[in-house]
Amino acid sequence: MSRVSLPYVALGDSYAAGVGGGPGRSECWRAFAGYPVSVARSLGVDLAYQACLGATVANVVEDQVAALGPETTHVSLTIGGNDAGFVPVLVECAKPAWMTDSDRVLDEASALVTQELPGRLDALLGRVREGAPTAELVLTAYPVIFNGTDCNALTFFSPHEMSRIERGTGELADVISAAAAKVGARFVDPRAAFDGHAVCDAVEWINGVGWPLEESYHPNGAGHEAYARLVAEGFGVEPSVLPQRDRPEVRVEEGPARRGDAPTFSLPDLLSGPSLDGARRAGIDPDRVVRLVREDRREELQELDREVRASR
């Protein structure tokens, strides 16, 4: 007997898998707070929840597109951030200046987005159209995560790095928009909706450093609801305004629980060899760094970081 596909198939990475908005339910996370579940309820259709933590374009092709079929009427896709090195960029920029020169990693990410990602997306969208030729297709970009301020004590994002990350988010949005246009898909850009709700804003829709660390720099519950509204509108329906508990139930079937290839966020280890060696090269006594870390004197560590950046 042939497999029957569900009407709505949600493809993509951790932003589509609900990371940051609620507890994970598998290796792929797939929280019920993720936007696909809310969108399914707004559409009134059953959901094949395929999106997965750490997914790249290649992971979507390998593990997720098999859920598509002739019965598929709606497909959403959030992908590209991990191909662009979203997490490695954040990991590098979170380090203090004596540990890293993050411009190299940012340059590599920008080159990958503009030179390699368009071809990867085109190939993926060809597979999606082949698997569900008549389905409505919505592609999303990503929000700007910083407002120019890093208020998390354990990270060292500089204004320069945050500005470059914002530009990279724009480059990524342009590439995703162009790919969507080629196949007649609708493009959803969340940047305007998330304006004023970045990390360290008064009302955050994106987590800063969170526990577990996988949730760091992902939408929180309000952020996933914002995504749900935008994607539902992309499908041409009014998003549900009912609380989650009062919305109509839909059937949710999960795809393979194979975590994607991309790494997850980690905090800088200030007591590591690279940190202490970097401090020495920057003219900082490594023993001072050790003492400040062990005494939890975070403000002084932040001041050291600013001094090193100012000296460059």
Q: Does 177 participate in catalysis according to the annotation?
A: no
Amino acid letter, 160: H
- Which candidate in 74, 197, 218, 224 is catalytic? 218
Distance between CA 73 and CA 83 in Å, rounded?
27
Distance between CA 18 and CA 90 in Å, rounded?
19
Question: Which residues, including other chains, have CB under 8 Å from residue 306's CB and lie 6 or more apart?
Answer: none
C-beta of residue 87 within 8 angstroms of C-beta of residue 66: no
> 137: closest CA among 3, 288, 9?
9
Structure-token pair, residue 237: 């329906």
> 201: closest CA among 223, 168, 228?
223
Distance between CA 110 and CA 178 in Å, rounded?
16
Check the CA dihedral 242-244-249-254 and report its sign.
positive
C-beta of residue 158 within 8 angstroms of C-beta of residue 309: yes
Structure-token pair, residue 166: 């914002």
Q: Does 218 participate in catalysis according to the annotation?
A: yes
- Which candidate in 5, 14, 76, 216 is catalytic? 14
* Distance, C-alpha 255 to centroid of its chain: 20
Burial of 194 (0-12, 13-18, 19+ CB in 10 A): buried
Specify the pairing of strand 252-254 against strand 47-49: parallel
Strand partners, 137: 75
Distance between CA 245 and CA 155 in Å, rounded?
36
Catalytic residues: 14, 218
